[in-house]
Amino acid sequence: MKPIYRYFVQPQLDIRTKTVFGYELLIKQLTSEGWRLPESFTDIDSQTMSKLLVATTKILGLKVQYCSVNVSREQLMDTTVAKAIIQSQTQLYPAKLVVELTEENGPCKYPDTSLIPYLRSFIEHGMQISLDDVGTGINDFRSIQEFLPLASEIKFALQNFRTGIKDPKIQQKLHFWHAISREYGQRLILEGIEDEDDAELSSSFNIYLRQGYYYGKPQLLRLPGDPVDMGA
């Protein structure tokens, strides 16, 4: 039996206007325990992901300004996935499809220079590039420096730090990436806002674009023909 995947959508808010300006698409797999994140995103068949992305963006068209989808380096180099991403942008227009470049490791290693032409191609087709999880893992400034001029958005994920936004070291990182976003003219989205304390501290940094359970959990986006008992 083929695995069943669907996208869940999580709202991204501009707290100045108290409006949803975008959605992030998070792919999940239906298991006997319910919907779960796949063990490896690169293991998802490219045809399956492509069809799902096209079907999902067809529903979301005209609802928001931006619609973000996570793409690994492996998927970025896959022609089938690339075509689906371009088709999805056509369906979403005038909204922008934002390609979030993740750091998930695949079986092949691709140097940064080999990815740049693919990212430029997406930009030429009207899309934007987002750099996910800046300041954590391998996504330090030096590692992503070549991508920064191409990116319209960077995302800082509080959930990647156990100590949270109250930690002075995390606040120092946040100040740094806020300065980088201003230097490059990018949106900075602060994700992982879990409660009111996180929200209040975020306001003290003048970061207004946010994402997290405090503002809304990912919700299953059903496709036409989906059975009612698929869960959520």
- Alpha-carbon distance 32 to 36, whole Å? 10
Rounded to two decimals, the pTM is: 0.90
Question: 155: pLDDT confidence band, cut at 50, 70 and 90?
Answer: very high
Is residue 62 scored above 70 in pLDDT? no
For the CA atoms of 219, 200, 160, 52, the dihedral, rounded to the nearest 10 degrees, stands at 20
Angle at 231 between CA 229 and CA 232, to 5 degrees: 145
Residues sharing a CB contact under 8 Å with residue 7, sequence separation 6 or more, in sequence order: 25, 26, 27, 28, 52, 53, 56, 221
Which pLDDT does position 41 carry in this prediction? Answer: 78
- Alpha-carbon distance 189 to 196, whole Å? 17
pLDDT > 70 fraction of the chain, expressed in percent and rounded: 96
Residue with token string 């919700």: 219
* Phi/psi at 192 (5° precision): 90, 20
Is residue 232 scored above 70 in pLDDT? no
What is the average pLDDT score of the chain? 89
Residue-wise pLDDT tens digits, 134-153:
877 656 788 788 899 999 99
Rg value, the chain, Cα:
17
Alpha-carbon distances, residue 185 vs 41, 54, 151 (angstroms):
30, 30, 9
Question: 197: pLDDT confidence band, cut at 50, 70 and 90?
Answer: confident
Report yes or no: 165 and 191 within 8 Å, Cβ to Cβ.
no
Residue-wise pLDDT tens digits, 67-110:
999 998 888 888 999 999 999 999 898 899 999 988 766 666 77
